[in-house]
Chain A
Amino acid sequence: MRELVAVFRRELGGYFATPLAFVFIVIFLFTMGAFTFYMGGYFESGQADLQIFFNFHPWLYLFLIPAISMRLWAEERRTGSIELLLSLPVPLWAAVLGKFLAAWAFSGIALALTFPMWLTVNYLGHPDNGVIFAGYVGSFFMAGGYLAIGSCLSATTRNQVIAFVVSVVVCFLFTISGLPLVTDFFSSWAPQQVLNTIASFSFLTHFTAITQGVIDLRDIIYFFTLIASWLIATGVVVDMKKAG
């Protein structure tokens, strides 16, 4: 546990030791705002809620979250610091989890800084703050899902660009697996059971359900299972690399 905290603090501090945190947060907030107000037609909708704002989250995360996760392991491998980390008396799970939690906390900080959106809708009207809260929870869990995927793929390479590109592709597949683009490919030949299973992997399905204001246990379990599976996979990948 002590090792987990040490890794977590080092990693989180690492984001703020460089301009990375600043650049990321500024771009995150700017694009969130731009998408919501311009592309989403927020004012034209006449609704005092954050549905439009949350609708863009999966698509922004698709590119912004792999930008955080790509460095998690690939950078350590490139600079050689992974040799230091893995020869310190830090259990593998603590290294994997500490890095992930730091990245998750960082994305949580970026997400929390969108609070002016929440202030705006409350100023403009009387939104259902419970639904908005659910949206934030859903968004945070979805960020965790993307990060866990990115963490595993980052562990497979020493090249951050590869980690980024592959993460975007895998995250994209997970995002849209419930949409016709994917389901149509299977629907003509695969049994309904398989179709449902594939669709149930979709971030969108679960995220949309949560942003409707219904925090269903199944959706939470989905994200937890997803995060846990990808983190275990991260540990397996790191361990396999030790075996050479």
Chain B
Amino acid sequence: MKTVNASGEAMIAIDGLTKRFGPFTAVDNISFTVARGEVLGFLGPNGAGKSTTMKMITGFLAPSEGTARVCGHDVVTDQLAAQRMIGYLPEGAPAYSDMTPRGFLKFIARVRALSGAAADKAIDEAVEATELQGVLDQPIDTLSKGFRRRVGLAQSILHNPPVLIMDEPTDGLDPNQKHEVRKLIARMSPDKAIIISTHILEEVDAICSRALIIDRGRIVADGTPAELTARSRYHNAVSLTLGGQLTVAAAEALKRIPGVASIDIVPRGTETVLTLFPARDISGDTTIVDTVARMAREENWPVRALFSEAGRLDEVFRKLTRGDTEDLPGKSAA
């Protein structure tokens, strides 16, 4: 058994993973790897196969084809060894709702081969990291959605696993709690391989070192958040917000700036928002934004904002996953 756990090497290796539910292919020949220190974000519309992929990696669903290895252990042929390496937060953070968080975490500790002082220490740390101290002895089904999510999080990090897989870890949390969970993930990320799925695109920028966009069971994009945003038509576009209306002459002048391919003009209240799209990729080139700034100064335009855009992830997401995005079968079959 080859054990891959050195820094930079693949701790999660997915090869040709496929899942069919009858005639429907939920996950279609997906391959990727995740190394220690990486936080991989799974993006995709509902029913794209994000959860199904996670369920196969964690051993809840058997793959129809392909392999998944976690720290060198095949999730089908060496399932228990693989599962010991994984902390998993399933979608919706299910737990045994008749138990208290304390009892629930003790059960998880026992299953995870932690006992005595080691179990107490692990539970204390997980409780502290997820701030569950106040509700430890209330039945889980009486807890708010945010607390239940955090019980699920505590459960997944209890045994300090080298691999963390979290299906929408911040779903149902308020903005403060979301921030805390992101901080927690960032804190744990240097010595773990982490996969999270999310619908919140700014989360990808905030915590992911890499993102996969999945659509209809296939990977349609794979790269760092910066690389993905660079695929946006807004990448390096110059955004200019003016107080008041724009004169026709000014619009013509802007269009004549070298390198500008087109201009969007959107009135917003009393202001006007202009977006100047460059003709080609001009990374690092600040000519357009400089020219606009000079023109604004010379013509004395009432400039409210002027900046060069990095790109818009939501636009890339829509472009790559457009089409039939309604809930497909497969979720209910799981």
Contacts and interface: CB of A to CB of B under 8 A. Distances in A.
Contacts of B19: 244
A3 to B, nearest CB: 6
Contacts of B61: 242-244
Interface residues of A, number: 25
A242 B60 contact: yes
B60 A10 contact: no
Contacts of B297: none
B58 to A, nearest CB: 4
A229 B35 CA distance: 44
Contacts of B97: 79, 81
A108 B103 CA distance: 24
Interface in B58-107: 58-62, 64, 80-81, 83-84, 86, 88, 90-92, 94-99, 103, 107
Interface string A83-127: 110111111000000000000000000000000000000000000
Contacts of A17: 98-99, 103, 139
Interface string B307-334: 0000000000000000000000000011
Interface stretch (B110-118, B194-202, B236-244, B251-259): B110-118
B90 A10 contact: no
Interface in B96-141: 96-99, 103, 107-108, 110-113, 139
A243 B52 CA distance: 12
A13 interface: yes
A82 to B, nearest CB: 8
B334 A244 contact: yes
B111 A6 contact: yes
Given A10-B107, A88-B108, A80 B60 contact: no
A188 interface: no
Nearest to A6: B110
Given A244-B61, A244-B333, A89 B103 contact: no
A218 interface: no
Contacts, number: 80
Given A14-B96, A17-B99, A243-B62, A84 B155 contact: yes
B98 A89 contact: no
A18 B140 CA distance: 12
A182 to B, nearest CB: 37
Contacts of B301: none
Interface in A1-59: 2-3, 5-7, 9-10, 13-14, 17-18
Given A10-B96, A79-B94, A91 B80 contact: yes
A10 B84 CA distance: 19
A175 B252 CA distance: 91
A86 B113 CA distance: 16
Contacts of B58: 87
Nearest to B83: A89
Nearest to A20: B98
Interface string A217-244: 0000000000000000000000000111
A244 B62 contact: yes
Contacts of A87: 55, 58-60, 83, 86, 88, 90
A23 to B, nearest CB: 14
B20 interface: yes
B32 interface: no
Given A89-B111, A244-B19, A244-B334, A83 B60 contact: yes
A14 B155 contact: no
B21 A14 contact: no
Nearest to A89: B83
Contacts of B81: 89
Contacts of A10: 96, 99, 107
A9 B115 CA distance: 15
Contacts of A89: 80-81, 83-84, 111-112
A83 B96 contact: no
B8 to A, nearest CB: 26
Contacts of B64: 244
Interface string A160-192: 000000000000000000000000000000000
A244 B55 CA distance: 11
A5 B91 CA distance: 27
Contacts of B103: 13, 17
Nearest to B139: A17
Contacts of A244: 19-21, 61-62, 64, 333-334
Contacts of A79: 94, 97
Highest count of chain B CB atoms <10 Å: which of A5, A14, A79, A84: A84
22 contacts: A2-B110, A5-B110, A10-B96, A10-B99, A17-B99, A79-B94, A80-B90, A83-B55, A84-B88, A84-B155, A86-B59, A86-B60, A87-B59, A87-B83, A88-B108, A88-B111, A89-B80, A89-B83, A89-B111, A89-B112, A244-B20, A244-B62
Interface of A: 2-3, 5-7, 9-10, 13-14, 17-18, 79-81, 83-84, 86-91, 242-244
